[in-house]
Amino acid sequence: MKVNWRFEAETIQRPLWRQPIWRQLALLIGIALLPFAPGSLAETRELLGAGDTIRVTVFQNPDLTTEARISEQGTIAFPLLGEIALAGQRPVDAGARIADQLRRGRLITNAQVNVSVVQLRSRQVSVLGQVVRPGRYALDDTSSRLVDILAVAGGISPTGDDIVVVTGTRDGKTTRQEIDVPAMYRTGNVSRNIELQNGDTVFVQRAPVFYIYGEVQRSGAYRLEPATSVMNALSLGGGLTVRGTSRGVRIHRKMSDGTIQKLDANLTDAVQANDVIYIRESLF
CA distance 239 to 232: 10
What's the pLDDT at 156?
94
Q: Mark whether 265 and 214 lie in a shared domain.
A: yes
Give yes or no: residues 74 and 132 share one domain. Answer: no
pTM of the model: 0.61
Assigned domain for 284 exists: no
Tell me the CATH number at 231. Answer: 3.10.560.10
Q: Are residues 190 and 252 in the same domain?
A: no
Counting the structural domains of the chain, the total is 4
Strand 209-214, strand 220-223: pairing:
antiparallel
**Can you say whether the dihedral through the CA atoms of 265, 267, 273, 278 is positive or negative?**
positive
Report if residue 217 sits inside a domain. Answer: yes
**Is 77 part of a structural domain of the chain?**
yes
Domain that holds residue 18: 5-36
User: 46 — phi, psi (to 5°)?
Assistant: -85, -165
Each residue's pLDDT expressed in tens, for the chain with a length of 284 residues: 444 444 344 444 444 445 555 454 444 444 444 344 444 333 444 688 888 889 999 999 999 999 999 998 999 999 999 999 998 899 999 999 999 999 999 898 889 999 998 877 778 899 999 999 999 988 876 678 999 999 999 999 989 999 999 999 988 899 999 999 988 888 888 889 999 988 899 999 999 999 999 999 999 999 998 889 999 999 999 999 988 888 889 999 999 888 999 999 999 999 999 999 999 988 76
